[in-house]
Chains A and B, each alone.
Chain A
Amino acid sequence: KAGVTQTPRYLIKTRGQQVTLSCSPISGHRSVSWYQQTPGQGLQFLFEYFSETQRNKGNFPGRFSGRQFSNSRSEMNVSTLELGDSALYLCASSLMPTGTVSGNTIYFGEGSWLTVV
């Protein structure tokens, strides 16, 4: 069974540009969450989607947005990139939304490494 697939794995962008990251969850999983990981802040929750609806959102500026498609694939977009957006962006999938069912395991993808120069 394929795991969570994220593309692209590595990318370099210039300040002010925008970027779109893609995530394909495990087959059958309908919940997709996005996290940002940096050495200084650790793993921080961005947002969660379930059945094409945003269920939850972390404390990030509006430059960070996402969406989910009918096939559960998800994309996140960061506009007007800043140097501080350089990070590993992790996508995670699960059968059900976070916190709704006991034992609902969250599986992470390998991540997309974003460098902003």
Chain B
Amino acid sequence: QKEVEQNSGPLSVPEGAIASLNCTYSDRGSQSFFWYRQYSGKSPELIMSIYSNGDKEDGRFTAQLNKASQYVSLLIRDSQPSDSATYLCAALGGYNKLIFGAGTRLAVHP
């Protein structure tokens, strides 16, 4: 079992819709979680971090964390074609190692 799991997609949504990206993790000791966006051929870029249960909003992005269910999600409201990228979920696990999921490819079509 992989430590951080994501649906590889592609997740296809129309422009203006809400994109919902999900991630589960296996290490109950993980306390910090991150969402990175990676455009094709580019390096990952941090878009959200979340440390406490509940929701954290930043512009069009909302991260949600449920530690009891070991579940993290990212909502992108009013999706734009420029949001088309691979979204990587990462968990800070034991021994202070950042563990990444395989990523979900998001495609926003006009």
**Chain A positions near chain B (C-beta within 8 angstroms):** 33, 35, 42-45, 55-56, 58, 90, 97-100, 102-103, 105-111
| B residues in contact (CB < 8 Å) with A | 32, 42-46, 49, 51, 88, 90, 92, 95-103
Complexed CA–CA distance, A110 and B103 (Å):
18
Quick one: given A42-B103, A99-B32, are A58 and B97 in contact (CB under 8 Å)?
Answer: yes
Distance from A103 Cβ to chain B, minimum over Cβ atoms (Å): 7
Q: Is the CB of A108 within 8 A of B97?
A: no
CA distance A79 to B96 in the complex (A): 27
Contacts of A107 in B (CB 8 A): 46
Chain B residues closer than 8 Å to A90, beta-carbon distance: 43-44
Indicate which residue in B43, B88, B96, B101 contacts A98 across the interface (CB closer than 8 Å). B96
| Interface contact B100-A43, CB-CB below 8 Å | yes
Give the 9 A-B CB pairs with smallest separation, nearest first. A99-B96, A43-B100, A108-B43, A42-B102, A98-B96, A108-B44, A110-B43, A99-B92, A45-B97
CB–CB B45/A98 < 8 A: no
Distance in angstroms from B44 CB to nearest chain A CB is: 5
